[in-house]
């Protein structure tokens, strides 16, 4: 570098000679600068601008997609947890309802059984009462028939027409002997 500077100092027209040798020309240089800026503007406007915008848009979309995916995964996990909780709750409710139903059914069965027992008891009581009534009625008829037969027999045996009092008395005596 120092040698270059020394050479430049020794030959003040070195730059001019260099320019002449290699054809460095002010107007051509300016024209090429303009051309170069033209290239830059063209590439920036028509190539790098749209392409970089598209790349950026795609990058943003990928980032948004990733975020969305994470959100969806979280929502899915939440949904699965909610579903599991709902299923567990439903299961608990079902168990409780079945237990309640069983309990209710047992109570109902008991109630119906009690009712049936009560009805049976009632029927039995009624039947007993009816039987007693029939027995009383038959007994009264038998007594009456027996009294009539006794009175008839007594009349035939004794040949005596019995009065109403006689008949009552004979009936009462006969029934007193048979009654027990």
Partner 1 sequence: MTRFLVTTLGLWLLAFASAFGAEGAHHALPLDAQPLHESLPITNSITMVWLAVILIVIFCQIATRKMSLVPTGFQNFAEWVVESLYTFLEGLMGAHLTKRTFWFFGSIFFFILVTNYLGLIPGVGTVTYGGTPILRGGNADINMTAAMAFTFAILWIYWAISENGLKGFIAHIFAPKGVKGFLFWTLMPLFIFVGFLEIISIAIRPVALSFRLFGNIYGGEQTLEKLMALVPDYLAFLPSLPFYFMELLVGFVQALVFTLLCAIFLKLICDHGDEHESH
| Footprint of partner 1 (CB under 8 A) | 1, 4-5, 21-25, 27-33, 35-40, 42-44, 46-48, 50-52, 54-55, 57-58, 61
Q: Which is nearer to partner 1, 60 or 78 (CB)?
A: 60
DSSP states along 96-159: HHHHHHHHHHHHHHHHHHHHHHHHHHHHHHHHHHHHHHHHHHHHHHHHHHHHHHHHHHHHHHHT
User: What totals of helices (H) and strands (E) does the chain contain, helices first?
Assistant: 5, 0
Distance of CA 176 to the CA centre of its chain: 81
Q: Which is nearer to partner 1, 51 or 106 (CB)?
A: 51
Q: Which is nearer to partner 1, 61 or 112 (CB)?
A: 61
């Amino acid at each position: 570098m120092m040698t270059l500077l020394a050479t430049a100092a020794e030959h003040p027209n070195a730059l001019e000679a260099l320019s002449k040798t290699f054809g460095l020309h002010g107007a051509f240089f300016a024209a090429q600068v303009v051309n170069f800026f033209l290239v830059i503007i063209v590439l920036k406007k028509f190539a790098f601008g749209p392409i970089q915008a598209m790349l950026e848009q795609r990058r943003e979309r990928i980032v948004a997609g990733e975020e969305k995916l994470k959100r969806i995964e979280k929502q899915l996990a939440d949904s699965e947890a909610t579903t599991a909780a709902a299923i567990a709750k439903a299961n608990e409710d079902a168990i409780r309802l079945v237990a309640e139903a069983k309990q209710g059914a047992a109570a109902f069965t008991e109630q119906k059984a009690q009712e049936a027992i009560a009805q049976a008891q009632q029927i039995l009581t009624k039947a007993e009462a009816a039987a007693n009534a029939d027995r009383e009625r038959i007994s009264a008829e038998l007594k009456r028939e027996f009294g009539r037969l006794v009175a008839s027999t007594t009349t035939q045996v004794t040949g005596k027409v019995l009065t109403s009092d006689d008949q009552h008395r004979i009936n009462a005596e006969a029934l007193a002997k048979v009654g027990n």
